[in-house]
Structure 1
Amino acid sequence: MSGPLIALTGATGFIGRHLLTALSARGYRVRVLLRRPVEVPEGASSAVVGDLARPINMAAGLSGVDAVVHSAGLAQAMSGAPEDDFRSSNTEATRRLAEAAHRARVRRFVFLSSVRAQTGPSAPEPIAETDAPEPTDAYGRSKLAAEQALAQTGLDWVALRPALVYGAGVKGNMAALLSLARSPYPLPLASLSGRRSLVSVESLSTAVATVLQAAGPLDRPLIVADPDPLSLPEMLSALRSGLGRRAGLVPVPTPLVGLVCRMTGRGEIFDRLSGSLIARSDELAALGWRPAQASPDGLAALARNSAA
């Protein structure tokens, strides 16, 4: 292979595994930066072992690299983690890697941030990058601080802020929603009207490819979200459609649904998915990005493939 060389962090994680496959398929050579000696993931052209908290091997890892795609970090699902842990893993590690990339004369740094760097778990109006960021938890604050650190490095950088990501191997709230869709019972969720933006991991991968190829400098965050926000009933209907089943949703007053969810240990899922969070990707679309599929089709495919 003779394509541009990409250094990828987080290649063993949910998003990173998909990025490795997608970038390799597009002709990029991908050097994975690993925290510990493990088998080199399939699709990687090379690997370097190093710790972002102590970047001893970063000079070797970034030698000859055209761009960095940084997807490693402490996930939002680790909601019980202390704020210092988010700051260390998501902010300081990103800053150190970016500084090493600047010394290595890397052309562009692509950071996998989050829509939570922009807002809390819900928002009354559609959000865009031009809105003042107002993260409400340690995870979102750590991602925003990492973006701000990137802006001070002198690198050509871009931070992708994906909405809720779904795809094969997903964990967290989306995995719990898929489990709920698989249940054989009718679900009392038909009355929930809040709409949320989603993005498939395939569409996120095309967004990474888009910003890698875009003329620079970029030097800004970009929201990544499918254009068709869905309500929770629509998400479940799409998932059950992929399983070959009817939606099986019945109307129950929303406050009662919230009470039952909290009593059964699903309160966090209810809080995160019942409110509205609509994100706009106009700036990314202006660079030529198009989602790989519509959200209902992607959710149906996720459920169908998970049952195979």
Structure 2
Amino acid sequence: MLTGASGFIGSALKAELASDSGFQLVTAVRKVGASPDCVTVGDMDGCTDFSEALTGVDVVIHAAARAHIMRDEVDDPLAEYRKVNVEGTLNLARQAVVAGVRRFVFLSSIKVNGEATTQGNPFQANDVPSPEDAYGVSKLEAEQGLMLMAAESGMEVVIIRPPLVYGRGVKGNFSSMIRLVDKGFPLPLGAIHNRRSLVGIDNLVDLIIRCIDHPAAANQVFLVSDGEDLSTTVLLRGVGKAMGKPARLIPVQAGLLQFGATLLGKKAVVQRLLGSLQVDISKTRELLEWKPRYTVEEGLRRCFERSN
């Protein structure tokens, strides 16, 4: 059973699972679905009834969430994130235990680890969590509740923490980056020497599917990436190459950009472009005998390939 099947990650995962005859898929959706595999459950919170969707289910993949919002305008963002990401997740997990579900795969976030790393010191799967915003806190609380439930019930839990996910149909910051390169705007990002991990949607889907039945995945936390860390400058050039358009980059020192961003009140936004965030996927590679199927160059090219 899959939640979040209409989202960016969930829709790609649904398509891959539906094409594999080895899986019998059910999706739990908010609104009435058009396909026979959809079970309507309504909005997700601590009271949602998943019983129909869980009937006969062996594995749950939980990709639904209240997504990270850069400029959240609600009065209490943490309370809003908790309704869906904590209460909704643990409510689903409790019902999964009752239904006899064997394994619960949870899509978390690298924000549980933190917001930034120093170069050469990537986040590890066993690091002490250090979330800095309400979204990261909500994902950590959900992880903790799931692991406690696993210890008490025997249902296996698998946690995956992706960094920035990109691919065809992506939204958010990566989509904005694509639009800027596409329009040919000059960008003052031609001399950035940070290092950031990211993961293509196809690589992430491949790992999620590996976690469905790999025995070593039980009750583990995994980090995931494409296995290559890029600077913002190199990434923008890669996006341009994949689009067949040159990225117009002006070499401006990072310190000047940070100073200007601070004056304009855009420090947090610019930090994502200038700062480093690296993840170490050696545990994922070794324990699951997994490696990324596609390089970053291949993943970026797939962003712009026409669907058959």
Same fold (TM over 0.5): yes
User: Which consecutive unaligned segments of at least 5 residues does structure 1 have?
Assistant: 1-6
Indicate the residue corresponding to 1:299 in structure 2.
Answer: 300
Indicate the residue corresponding to 2:106 in structure 1.
Answer: 111
Indicate the residue corresponding to 1:65 in structure 2.
Answer: 57
Whole-Å separation in 2 of the counterparts to 1:103 and 1:249: 55
Which residues in structure 2 correspond to 1:11-30 (within 5 Å)? Answer: 11-27=5-21, 28-30=23-25
Return closer, same or farther for 1:18/1:217 CA change in 2, 3 Å cut-off: closer
Q: Deviations over 1:73-132 (max 9, x none)?
A: 111135415110011110111100001001111110000000011112x11121111211
For the pair 1:245 / 2:245, whether they are aligned, the reply is yes
Whole-Å separation in 2 of the counterparts to 1:253 and 1:54: 48
Q: Deviations over 1:201-260 (max 9, x none)?
A: 111100111111201561121111111011101110011001223343231122333455
Deviation at 1:180, TM superposition (A): 1.7
CA RMSD of aligned residues (A): 2.2
Whole-Å separation in 2 of the counterparts to 1:33 and 1:217: 24
Deviation at 1:185, TM superposition (A): 3.5
For the pair 1:88 / 2:83, whether they are aligned, the reply is yes
SS in 2 for 1:180: helix
Deviation at 1:26, TM superposition (A): 2.5
Q: TM-score when scaled to structure 1?
A: 0.89
Whole-Å separation in 2 of the counterparts to 1:268 and 1:301: 30
Q: TM-score when scaled to structure 2?
A: 0.89
Given that 1:239 and 1:303 are in contact with CA atoms closer than 8 Å, whether structure 2 keeps it comes out as no
Indicate the residue corresponding to 1:98 in structure 2.
Answer: 93
Q: Percent identity?
A: 34
Give the one of 143, 150, 163 matched to 1:147.
Answer: 143
User: Residue type matched to 1:145 in 2?
Assistant: E
Indicate the residue corresponding to 2:226 in structure 1.
Answer: 226
Q: Deviations over 1:251-297 (max 9, x none)?
A: 11223334556788975542213100010111211202221211133
Given that 2:182 and 2:245 are in contact with CA atoms closer than 8 Å, whether structure 1 keeps it comes out as no
User: Which consecutive unaligned segments of at least 5 residues does structure 2 have?
Assistant: none
Return closer, same or farther for 1:54/1:119 CA change in 2, 3 Å cut-off: closer
Given that 2:195 and 2:230 are in contact with CA atoms closer than 8 Å, whether structure 1 keeps it comes out as yes
Given that 1:240 and 1:303 are in contact with CA atoms closer than 8 Å, whether structure 2 keeps it comes out as no
Whole-Å separation in 1 of the counterparts to 2:183 and 2:264: 14
Given that 1:48 and 1:57 are in contact with CA atoms closer than 8 Å, whether structure 2 keeps it comes out as no
Deviation at 1:303, TM superposition (A): 4.3
Whole-Å separation in 1 of the counterparts to 2:70 and 2:274: 21
Whole-Å separation in 2 of the counterparts to 1:230 and 1:217: 28
User: Residue type matched to 1:302 in 2?
Assistant: C
SS in 1 for 2:64: coil
Whole-Å separation in 1 of the counterparts to 2:215 and 2:7: 29
Q: How many residues align?
A: 296
